[in-house]
A and B are shown apart, each in its own frame.
Chain A
Amino acid sequence: MDMKRDYYEDVQLMSSPVVIFWFTALIGVLYFFPLFVGSYYVYVANYIAINIIVVTGLNLLVGYTGQISLGHAGFFAIGAYGTVILMAKAGFPFLLALPCAAMVAAGFGFLLGLPALRLEGPYLAIATLGFGLTITQIIGRIELFGGRDGLHAPDITIGSWVLDTDKEFYYLLITLTILLLFFMRNLIKTKVGRAFIAIRDADIAAQTMGVNILYYKTLAFAVSAFYAGIAGGLYAFVLKFIEPEIFTLLMSIMFLAMVVVGGLGSMLGSIAGATLLCWLDLKLRNILDIPYIGDWLENLSKHWFSITGVSNIQYIVFGSIMVAIVLFEPLGLYGIWIRTKKYWRTWPF
């Protein structure tokens, strides 16, 4: 059903007027969303949007280019620290500090891309893991970065607009998220995107056909790190405070889990994966409030999984959902979406 019949159909950003209509409607809903919900849900939306940005960037690297990274929390940290320091110490306005910090992250991404030319699979995973862990150690030892004490994010002002609530920040964040998703969609459709995919499918064949591996592999790392840097810069203002211990290995693993659960090599998958896992991470503890089932799960947890009598069942449920998705639908949530579309295609006939 997703068969493309000519070149122009393959490179167009929106496949039909129906898609354009639904996309426009979705944008409208997103912009009106804060008017109908409380500040908590706006915060959750901000949290999800930031994860969508970083996961979209990571999916470019993992899903489209076939590389791996367990160090994206490091790029995320560079973006967060870079933005806050450029604003607080160098007096940059937010809209300048954010891309500058992301460019620094992209620079580190480029450097990390160099060993990726000779490494792959688990070896590359270890190299990137080392990067992610080292960056937070270095940041923690530099006084300019606040050391282990951390840094407070200053208020954001754009002209006369002071963004001091989650709702105000939401409008900026959602605009940036949409722009970045558009940019990524466009990139994938260009010759650069096709070069990434060619490297993923068979790098030697790609090189034989004239794809410059050195250039495109490092570019994939740099673009992916740029996205993580932007997301990190925004994250600092969601929390209003950053310290090195926030950017842990677990964070990098969660980013990768979002890519895999959402669907490798799919932008829709990035959005779905980040949304689902963030939502579960924040909300799954409420599973204990469900009548009967909640009590049963709590007793199960207290009896078998917790030595202190406090339920931790939500993590077991969380892990089980991830395993089930990957086990039954290797293409992740995107695969489920494709199958659902196929199933309903001929409806109501």
Chain B
Amino acid sequence: MKKGLMLVLLVFLTFLLSFAPNLFAEEGVTDTQIHLGQWGPQTGPAAAWGNVARGTGDYFKWINDNGGINGRKIVYHMFDDGYNPAKTKAGVKELQEGTGMFAWACGVGTSPGLAVRDYLAERNIPWVGPAAGSMHWVNPPQKNLFAVYPLYMGEAKALVKYAIEKMGKKRIAIAYLNDEYGKNGLRGALAELKAHGMEAVEQVSMEAKDSDLKPHVMKLRKSKADMVLMWTTVGHSARIVGISKAMQFAPQFMSTSTTSDFPLMMNITKGLWEGVITATLGELPGSGYPLLDKYKKEVFDKYAAKEERWGVFYYAGIIFTEPMIEGLKRAGRNLTRESFIAAMESIKGFKGIGPEVNFKPYDKNDMYSRQGASQTFLVQCLANGRAKQLTEWMDIK
């Protein structure tokens, strides 16, 4: 009887042990795999940003083909949300509760991100590198959310500072989109002007759907601005530059990092983007930065679809996820959400192809405990669509 009981216990224990790695493993992590998710608009109004998610996918393929992370391969689950927050939330919940994601990467757009922010926070599911420089991610900071995109406010400050101190500009006007993105740029610019004892000579707001920008440019021209800072969409910025040229209004134009894809901008503006100064998200193509060249050769050339373009949006998908890969490496073989968050918090002075990334232990009163990147550098568009570097990386807190 005793022997029989022992045999049953032994079989039961063996059965339990055979499942041990799975019984105690974290959601989305197995012995050989880590499941990571991302939403990205492949269709709909923001489809132009779809290459962020594709860039991440190709980067993960490269990581896997180079041995994975601590013996595990990344299983990447990307879905198209069409920039519709209801679909973002449905897709995130489906993957999270169906397959089980360990963490989420990037995710284009403020409103799609806000639709799932609380859901991820309530479950303490890590989310690294939302692809929008919104204050919503870090104000207030959340334990599970690590932002990599530099804040728009800081970028605007850096541009205005350069215009005043290095270029001696005295009359600065601002054209901005009437949304959170545009207003953050406006706030940063006004703060920097105030710090120099100046005021904007004109502030012109526009809606995303505005197509006739002549009245806006007329106001800018009337202000006799010698520098115009544009915090608008790619299309709006191109139109402002074009209409200004037609009106023989030729200030120094400056713009956000979202318009720093110079070949694209030169193409849209038929060469009028030459001379425009922008902030940047990361190292520049053709700058000779070794890691960027390596990604071009080993990631883009090898994995990207043949119609894909090696541009800022594509490799932004790498910039936003490099710190995540670093965190996964540091968390080691015993990968749990807690160990991953602790590893992310230990990242100091990390340099990939984007700005330097620094995180700190979670502090609900310090947004920089979760705002990892606070650097940019300024570039000017040349006639051939290449970029001339104007400054080194500078802190923009």
Q: Does A43 contact B (CB under 8 A)?
A: yes
Partner of A308, one of B89, B90, B94, B307: B307
| Contact between B85 and A239, CB atoms less than 8 A apart | yes
Check A40 against B94 for contact (C-beta < 8 Å): yes
Give the interface SS of chain A, mostly helix, strand, loop or mixed.
Answer: helix
Q: How far is the CB of B84 from chain A (nearest CB, A)?
A: 8
Given A40-B97, A141-B207, A240-B115, is A309 in contact with B307 using a C-beta cutoff of 8 Å? Answer: yes
Q: How far is the CA of A85 from the CA of B110 in the complex (A)?
A: 21
A39 to B116: give the CA distance in the assembly, Å.
13
Asked whether B291 is an interface residue with its Cβ less than 8 Å from the other chain, the reply is no
Distance to closest chain A CB from B303 (angstroms): 10
Q: Which of A150, A302, A308 contacts B50 (CB 8 A)?
A: A308
Instruction: Say yes or no: is A326 at the interface (Cβ < 8 Å to chain B).
Output: no
| A149 part of interface (Cβ distance < 8 Å) | yes
| Contact between chains at A246 and B111 (CB < 8 Å) | yes
Q: Which residues between 143 and 191 of chain A lie within 8 Å of chain B, taking CB atoms?
A: 147-150, 152
The answer to whether B89 touches A43 (Cβ under 8 A) is yes
Across-interface contacts of A309 in B (CB, < 8 A): 54, 304-308
Q: How far is A307 from B308 in the complex, measured between Cα atoms in Å? A: 8
| Residue B180 at the chain A interface, CB threshold 8 Å | yes
Chain A, residues 5-35, CB within 8 Å of chain B (1/0): the string is 0000000000000000000000000000000
Query: Residues 61-92 of chain B: 1 if any A CB is under 8 Å from the residue's CB, otherwise 0?
Result: 00000000000000000011000111101110
A309 to B54, CA, bound (A): 9
In the complex, whether A212 has a CB less than 8 A from a CB of chain B is no
Q: Which residue of A lies closest to B109 (CB)?
A: A245
Report the Cα distance A38→B80, complex, angstroms: 22
What's the Cα separation between A152 and B306 when bound, in Å?
A: 41
Query: Could you tell me if B118 and A148 are in contact, using CB atoms closer than 8 angstroms?
Result: no
A39-B93, A148-B177 are contacts. A238–B307 as well, Cβ < 8 Å? no
Does residue A243 face the partner (Cβ distance < 8 Å to B)? Answer: yes
* Given A47-B90, A310-B50, A245 contacting B207 (CB threshold 8 A): no
Are A150 and B111 in contact, with the CB atoms below 8 A?
Answer: yes
**The residue from A148, A150, A302 contacting B114, defined by CB atoms under 8 A apart:** A150
- The closest CB in chain B to the CB of A149 belongs to B180
Query: Given A137-B207, A241-B115, are A312 and B89 neighbors across the interface (CB < 8 Å)?
Result: no
CB distance from A301 to the nearest CB of B (A): 11
Bitwise interface map of B from 43 to 59 toward A, beta carbon under 8 Å scored 1, else 0: 10100001100100000
Contact partners of A137 in chain B: CB under 8 A? 207, 209
- B-facing mask of A301-328, CB < 8 A → 1, else 0? 0100001111010010000000000000
A140 at the interface (CB under 8 A from B): yes
Q: In the bound complex, how far is the Cα of B90 from the Cα of A43, in angstroms?
A: 7
In the complex, are the beta carbons of A238 and B51 less than 8 A apart? no
Known: A40-B98, A239-B85, A308-B307. A140 touches B207 (CB 8 A): yes
Is there an interface contact between B51 and A308, defined as CB atoms closer than 8 Å? Answer: yes
Q: Is B179 an interface residue (CB 8 A)?
A: yes
For the complex, is A3 an interface residue (Cβ under 8 Å from B)?
A: no
B90 adjacent to A310 (CB under 8 Å): no
Output the least CB separation between A288 and chain B (Å): 10
Closest 7 CB pairs of A and B: A309-B305, A148-B179, A40-B93, A241-B114, A149-B180, A40-B97, A38-B97
**Chain B interface residues (CB < 8 Å from chain A):** 42-43, 45, 50-51, 54, 79-80, 84-87, 89-91, 93-94, 96-98, 110-111, 114-115, 118, 177-180, 182-183, 207-209, 304-308
Chain A residues at the B interface, C-beta cutoff of 8 Å: 38-40, 43-44, 47, 137, 140-141, 147-150, 152, 235, 238-241, 243, 245-246, 248, 281-282, 285, 302, 307-310, 312, 315
6 contacts between A and B (CB under 8 A): A39-B93, A40-B94, A141-B178, A235-B86, A308-B50, A309-B304
Instruction: Knowing that A147-B179, A235-B86, A282-B94 touch, tell me 13 more A-B residue pairs with CB under 8 angstroms.
Output: A148-B178, A148-B207, A150-B111, A238-B86, A241-B114, A245-B111, A308-B305, A308-B307, A309-B308, A310-B42, A310-B50, A310-B80, A310-B305
